[in-house]
Structures are given as C-alpha cells and as structure tokens.
Amino acid sequence: MSAYPDPLNKVLVLHGPNLNLLGSREPDIYGYETLDDVNNALREKAVLAGWELNCLQSNHEGVLIDAIQAARTDGTRAIIINPAAYTHTSVAILDALNAFTGKVMEVHISNVHQRETFRQHSYVSLRANGVIAGLGTQGYQAALDAILRAAGQ
Ligand code: DQA
C-alpha cells in the first residue's frame, strides 16, 4: 500500500468568451446567476463527492486550448465546457478536446437549437460525450451529475 493517499479525482470546468458577464449579459437569455454562483455551486457538489473541481473562464481561444492540453496530463478525468461562441467556430478547441481522453460534457445555458441558425452547429459536439442545452445554469449541475454517476458516485 502506498504511504500517500490516492490523488483526488479532478474535473475541469471551462467557460468561453463573454461568460464572465453572466448575470448582467442578456439576462432574458442567460439569467441572473453570476459565473461565481455557477462555479461555487459546482464546487460544492464536487467536494461532497470527494472530487477536486477547477474552473477557468477566458475570452481567448488559446487560453482555453492550453487548459485542455494541460488536462491531458494533470489527472483531470473530465471536462465540462461551455465554449460559448467558440462552439460554432473553433476547430482548434475540437482538436484539443480530441487529444483529451477523459469525458467531455458540453453545456449551453440557452437552447441553441431555438436560436439563430449559426448557433445550431457545434464543432465541440463532434467530441462531447454528452450535450446539455436550454436548462439554464442548471445544465452545469446536470453535467457534473452525469460525470459523477459515470464514475460510480
Ligand atoms: C452559449 C450559446 C452560444 O451560442 C453563445 O455564443 C454563448 C453562450 C450558451 O451558453 O447558451 O456565448 O454557449
């Protein structure tokens, strides 16, 4: 038996551009909860399950890609990602996720399928194990539930 405790299971939550404005940005579409509210609720659930949860928001594609690449080797078992507008444009984020071997859950706060045509295609969906759209910020909780359940928790 190792003298060291098992490392915690880790999940990474990535938020794409403009999601730092959650709570004040188009609240009729995205609601009034802030990104801190979302992240804190997720962390609470993860900690109860004995998981470490790390969150990152960036308005820059390369920063998100760097974080996905780092997740390949730092023990991260799953990524929850709302790529925001990069959902519909970024082959580079898709490629980075394709190089990650853990679970990927794609979350959209709004129901992108009821919105403009350009929002109805997602590059990330080609890789995602699950896609949640239209549940508001509860979608993030549903994604974490799915990850924990798949891990037997
Ligand atoms: C979004 C939907 C995207 O089309 C949009 O660009 C966003 C947020 C959502 O969570 O509903 O920024 O990903």
Residues with CB under 6 A from ligand 1: 18, 82, 84-85, 87, 108-110, 112, 119
| Two structure tokens written together for 129 | 């194990």
Pocket-testing residue among 61, 81, 82, 116, ligand 1, by greatest number of atoms within 8 A of Cβ: 82
Q: pLDDT band for 43, please (50, 70, 90 cuts).
A: very high
Question: DSSP readout, 65-97?
Answer: HHHHHHHTTTTEEEEEEE-GGGGGT-HHHHHHH
Residue 58 half-sphere exposure, CB side, CA atoms within 13 Å? 16
List, for residues 69-118, the tens digit of each pLDDT value. Answer: 999 999 999 999 999 999 999 999 999 999 999 999 999 999 999 999 99
